[in-house]
Amino acid sequence: MTDVLIVGGGVMGLAIGWRLARAGVETTVLERDVADCDRPSGAWWAAAGMLAPLSEAGFDDPHALAFGRASLDLYPRFAAELEEDAGRSVGLRTEGTVIAAADRDEAAWLRRQWVYHQELGLPTQWMGGDEAREREPHLGPRVPAALFAPTDHQVDSRLLGAALRRAFVARGGVLREGWEASRIDVDGGRAAGVWARPSGAEDGAEERIGARRVLVCAGSWTRLLLADGATATAAPPVRPVKGQLLALEMSPLLTLAHVVRTRRVYLVPREDGRLVVGATSEEAGFDVRMTAGGVLDLLRDSWEVLPGIYDLPLLQTWAGLRPVSRDGLPVLGATPVDGLYLATGHGRNGILLTPATALAMADLLATGRAPDAILPFALSRFG
């Protein structure tokens, strides 16, 4: 019997588990992948790792922007504490982000975004094309305008996941890799644990793992786990949205000093010399195969603002599944099933929202009281 059992060992589940373990709460995390597998299935592994509440700020729910900015503010301390516990870097970089317009139509769209940012008091800065190229010299000559978001940063999501795994265990957490939850054990109307089996095992090899509270952080697979039986009322309206990405090898003749984004694509420079390019947004169910059209779109849209990528070597392609809720906002907190909690539906902002989600959910699981910051993201908003 454990105090808290977390289903899903991606960055969200491990970050919450790490916070709980630091607070002395006995915590177990179940994760169906293992650390040395070639391509983990979680959204965190596929993510580009942008920490970009300003770049993402549209004419949407103000709670999302506030939560994103609050999480960004937590990142320096979060990263420092995590690196201390893990003994390794998470690749946090703080150069800011350039949001470039590929043509005059995009410049008009970007101007509307900037006016909205000014109304909200956000610190984005307008730049003409020449000023943008002074800040990021490899931008193409046809880029007419750009915004600079000085507080939108990046972290290496794969380094983050590895650090969280190590820090969670170092703080006394129990990580059971290679174990897949098949259903929640509900006893007397209350979540009392999980039935699980080794990944790939036959149906008859299940084991019951008891817990006083169960938190499901299974991303795009959350609804499948909860959809039937006694947990059906806890199943969130979350679906997978496919994103395709690729990595290029930067050269001495083409390196970026900032994350560069457009309306359709983003380019994220890594310390190891990779340039991560993403990401498509496709309703493709659980299909994570790369497509010729997806790669074509990424390369074409990147080339429009950064023509020099034409000669860069193509290192890798991959796809991931973002867990996206019906209204595009996270689903955080308690469910109608006593003792059963959710942290899912973060969409394209899962890496950004990790510190704030971990802090709030660990507080909820330790005290039974939901912090005000996550009240707008309760499951009950869906009726």
The pLDDT tens digits of the residues spanning 81-131 come to 999 999 999 999 999 999 999 999 999 999 999 999 999 999 999 999 999
- Torsion sign over Cα 137, 143, 145, 150: negative
Residues 6+ apart with CB under 8 A from 7: 13, 30, 181, 194, 214, 215, 216, 217, 218, 225
Asked whether residue 133 falls in the same domain as residue 20, the answer is no
How many Å apart are CA 97 and CA 257, to the nearest integer?
Answer: 9
Query: What whole-number distance in Å separates Cα of residue 110 and Cα of residue 126?
Result: 9
Q: What CATH number corresponds to the domain at position 22?
A: 3.50.50.60
Check residue 383 and give its pLDDT: 84
Quote the pLDDT of residue 218.
Answer: 97
Over residues 19-43, mean pLDDT: 89
Is 134 within a domain?
yes
**Domain identity same for 20 and 121:** no
Is there a single domain that holds both residue 217 and residue 68? yes
| pLDDT the model gives residue 41 | 76
Domain match, 131 and 249 both: yes
What confidence tens digit (pLDDT) does each residue in 265-317 have?
A: 999 999 999 999 998 999 999 999 999 999 999 999 999 999 999 999 999 99
For tokens 């169960």, name the residue.
Answer: 214
Question: 7 - beta bridge partners?
Answer: 30, 216
Statement to judge: residues 182 and 276 lie in one domain = no
pLDDT band at 59 (very low <50, low <70, confident <90, very high): low
| Same-domain check for residues 191 and 225 | yes
Q: Are 227 and 183 in contact (CB under 8 A)?
A: no
The per-residue pLDDT for 40 is 78
Does one domain contain both 113 and 247?
Answer: yes
**110 shares a domain with 8:** no
My answer on whether 134 and 7 are in the same domain is: no
d(CA 121, CA 123): 6
- Domain that includes residue 262, residue range: 97-150+239-325
Query: What pLDDT does residue 117 have?
Result: 94
For residue 61, what pLDDT band results from cuts at 50, 70 and 90?
Answer: confident
Residue with tokens 């497509």: 291
Q: CB count, 10 Å around CB of 79? A: 18
Share of the chain above pLDDT 90, in %: 92
Is beta strand 190-198 parallel, antiparallel or unpaired with respect to 179-187? antiparallel
Number of structural domains found in the chain: 2
Neighbours of 383 (CB within 10 A): 4
Average model confidence (pLDDT) across the chain: 95
**Which tens digits make up the pLDDT trace of 312-343?**
999 999 999 999 999 999 999 999 999 999 99
pLDDT confidence tier of residue 39, bands split at 50, 70 and 90: confident
Domain end, chosen from 325, 345, 371, is at 325
| Better-scored residue on pLDDT, 204 or 348 | 348
Core vs surface per residue 363-377: b (16+ CB within 10 A) or e: bbbbeeebbebbebb
Does some domain include residue 7?
yes
Residues 6 or more apart whose Cβ sits within 8 Å of residue 304? 102, 103, 140, 142, 262
> Does residue 315 lie within any of the structural domains?
yes
Per the DSSP assignment, residues forming a β-bridge with 186 are 191
Residue 231 lies in a domain: yes
- Shared domain for 315 and 375, answered yes or no, is no
pLDDT digits (tens, 9 = 90+) for 137-192: 999 999 999 999 999 999 999 999 999 999 999 999 999 999 999 999 999 999 99
Spatial distance between the Cα atoms of 225 and 116, rounded to a whole number of angstroms: 40
Q: Give a yes or no: residue 91 inside a domain.
A: no
What's the pLDDT at 204? 67
Band (pLDDT 50/70/90 cuts) for residue 203 is low
Q: Based on the domain organization, do 161 and 299 belong to the same domain?
A: no
Same domain, yes or no: 304 and 349: no
